[in-house]
């Protein structure tokens, strides 16, 4: 979930308006439900009448009378179900797969490795070393020009210096990190190489369960929580030899950049939040406090902070990366992916964490090749023409905001020129238009409200930091008023949307679109398609980064990352770094 949800989630705003207009009827119904839960009332015909606005169907007096006996039995059964303790780790008894009825995914994968290149020289300063890519850090480690312990101490020192400024870490895992680095050095010295990530320090978004450490979900009700499970992504990175140095800040329960420790900052502009909800992962990566990080996305939580902080993020195909041990927000929309300094780094991390997991019923296998096997000339890239012509910043209020939006539009058009100069075959494509996209956001609202139902019913939701209209407490309460029939109808409409998307992409290997253009962010999160977001320029107005987004076919991460990698080899936006203050401010 991300700050960008304010722009794309028009469906939720309509729901808020509907609730406000329901007036006394909603209030009466709400009080009646509370009484029923307490065992102090029975369902009456008047209560049914007051509830009819929720369903959008009006009943006759006779029809209401026929319902009462069964509704009271249902109310008793619901009360019994609410007494069942359902931990966040318990999924619904169904699974979701993108592209229903489509061809079965290919299986099997190569073992990716960095490209073979000439030996790399150690950077002349620790500052430069801290901003080296995963690829180059791995080459330095194997050439014994740096040790994992040295790298780990460097990143721990930078976390100590800059986290008070950025508020990007919930927990610094110093003891674990030094132990893992020591083991990596010993194994590499003995000739045991676990792969490209061996010895590389990284950060885990604090939705990811790590044994021996709190997993706070960035939220006041869970700030002392420790989870019983070990996240599969953590286990796979540990097996790959990566070194965990921090659990990074997450916007409270995966929305925004505000958590119980404050607001995570954008390293490029310290008076600005880093966006979210993978707020700390993007901020720490951009500031050179970790080699790479993991984030999660339900509706923009990798795309948005990567855009704000000028780093590269991969949102994989739904199901390509296990979510076992990762906080559930929306079972049919959540995804886990890497945030790094380059597309190639994302590829190296993805290769270590992707693949089916018996502990996650939603997870799937798929092919992945790195280095890429295809050249750019062999790929057809679609571009959503009307989105590049679309006026940015329609809601901009100040002249500065309008100028910034206009500049971003020009930067996006120049990105198309880069692709053409690289020899890409660009063809215009149109995104689905038959099935309405925005109303389908109620799927997220309903699933999130279900995931945190107990939080609302026991009142802990009132302890959360943000209590505004566009924050979880308000949305969780709204979710309880979405009929199950409408939720399932939305899932059926989603099937139509996925079929439309399959048709739209039939003639291309991937497509490029402006980040946040039209409904593309919500659309592709609903259909489960993978995307790479990467910096494509910097605003003259304030020096902050902009981004472009490449979206691939289902399980098409190889081609997607190949194009993003070629774009970055032709540009230098991803290699620029923010100027951080010499002396940290007091954290508050």
Catalytic residue numbers read: 205, 277, 301
Sheet of strand 335-340: strand arrangement: 169-172, 243-248, 201-205, 292-297, 335-340, 312-315, 531-538, 545-552, 510-514, 380-383, 425-428
Cα–Cα distance for residue pair 153/588, rounded to 1 Å: 25
Smallest CA-to-CA distance from 368 within 354, 387, 357 is with 354
Determine the 3-state secondary structure of 510 from DSSP. strand
Phi, psi of 527 (to 5 degrees): -85, -10
**Cα 360 to Cα 90, 524, 529, distances in angstroms:** 11, 22, 19
Determine the 3-state secondary structure of 31 from DSSP. helix
Cβ burial 115-142 (10 Å sphere, 16+ → b, else e): eeeeebeebeeeeebbbbbbbbbbbbbb
Smallest CA-to-CA distance from 300 within 1, 555, 11 is with 1
Cα–Cα distance for residue pair 393/210, rounded to 1 Å: 40
Smallest CA-to-CA distance from 167 within 244, 274, 82, 94 is with 274
Which residue has tokens 């300094």? 341
Residue 442 in tokens: 């109620």
Residue 244 in tokens: 């965990």
Residue 555 in tokens: 């399980």
Cα–Cα distance for residue pair 502/102, rounded to 1 Å: 9
């Amino acid at each position: 979930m991300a700050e960008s949800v304010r722009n794309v989630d028009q469906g939720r705003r309509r729901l808020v308006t509907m609730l406000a207009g329901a007036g006394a009827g909603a209030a009466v119904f709400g009080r009646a439900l509370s009484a029923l839960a307490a065992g102090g009332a029975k369902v009456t015909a008047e209560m049914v009448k007051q509830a009819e606005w929720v369903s959008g169907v009006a009943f006759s007096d006779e029809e209401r009378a026929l319902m009462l006996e069964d509704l009271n039995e249902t109310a008793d059964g619901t009360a019994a179900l609410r007494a069942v303790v359902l931990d966040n780790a318990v999924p619904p008894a169904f699974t979701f797969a993108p592209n229903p009825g489509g061809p079965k995914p290919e299986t099997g994968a190569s073992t990716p490795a960095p490209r073979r290149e000439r030996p790399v020289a150690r950077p002349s300063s620790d500052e430069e070393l801290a901003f080296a890519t995963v690829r180059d850090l791995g080459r330095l480690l194997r050439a014994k020009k740096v040790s994992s312990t040295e790298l780990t101490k460097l990143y721990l020192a930078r976390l100590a210096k800059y986290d008070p400024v950025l508020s990007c870490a919930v927990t610094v895992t110093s003891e674990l990190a030094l132990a893992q680095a020591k083991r990596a050095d010993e194994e590499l010295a003995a000739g045991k190489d676990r792969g490209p990530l061996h010895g590389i320090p990284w950060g885990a978004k604090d939705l990811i369960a790590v044994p021996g450490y709190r997993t706070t979900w960035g939220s006041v009700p869970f700030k002392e929580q420790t989870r019983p499970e070990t996240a599969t992504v953590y286990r796979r990175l540990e097996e790959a030899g990566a070194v965990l140095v921090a659990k990074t800040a997450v916007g409270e329960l995966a929305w925004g950049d505000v958590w119980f420790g404050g607001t995570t900052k954008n390293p490029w502009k310290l008076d600005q939040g880093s966006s979210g909800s993978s707020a700390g992962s993007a901020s720490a990566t951009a500031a050179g406090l970790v080699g790479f990080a993991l984030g999660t996305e339900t509706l923009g939580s990798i795309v948005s902070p990567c855009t704000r902080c000028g780093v590269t993020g991969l949102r994989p195909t739904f199901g390509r990366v296990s979510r076992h041990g990762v906080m559930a927000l929306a079972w049919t929309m959540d995804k886990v992916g890497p945030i790094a300094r380059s597309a190639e780094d994302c590829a190296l991390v993805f290769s270590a964490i992707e693949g089916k997991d018996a502990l996650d019923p939603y997870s799937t296998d798929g092919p992945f090749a790195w280095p890429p096997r295809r050249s750019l000339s062999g790929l057809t890239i679609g571009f959503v023409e009307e989105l590049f012509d679309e006026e940015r910043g329609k809601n901009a209020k100040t002249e500065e905001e309008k100028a910034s939006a206009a500049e971003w539009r020009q930067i996006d058009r120049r990105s198309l020129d880069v692709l053409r100069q690289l020899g890409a075959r660009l063809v215009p494509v149109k995104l689905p238009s038959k099935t309405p996209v925005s109303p389908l956001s109620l799927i997220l609202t309903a699933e999130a409200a279900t995931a945190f139902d107990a939080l609302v019913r026991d009142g802990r939701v009132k302890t959360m930091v943000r209590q505004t209209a566009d924050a979880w407490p308000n949305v969780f309460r709204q979710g309880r008023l979405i009929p199950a029939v409408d939720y399932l109808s939305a899932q059926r409409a989603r099937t139509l949307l996925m079929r439309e998307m399959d048709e739209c992409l039939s003639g291309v290997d991937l497509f490029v679109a402006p980040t946040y253009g039209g409904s593309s962010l919500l659309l592709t999160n609903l259909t489960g398609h993978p995307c790479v977001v990467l910096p494509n320029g910097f605003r003259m107005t304030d020096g902050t980064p902009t981004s472009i987004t490449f979206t691939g076919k289902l399980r098409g991460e190889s081609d997607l990352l190949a194009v993003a990698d070629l774009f970055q080899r032709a540009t230098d936006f991803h290699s620029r770094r923010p100027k951080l203050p010499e002396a940290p401010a007091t954290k508050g």
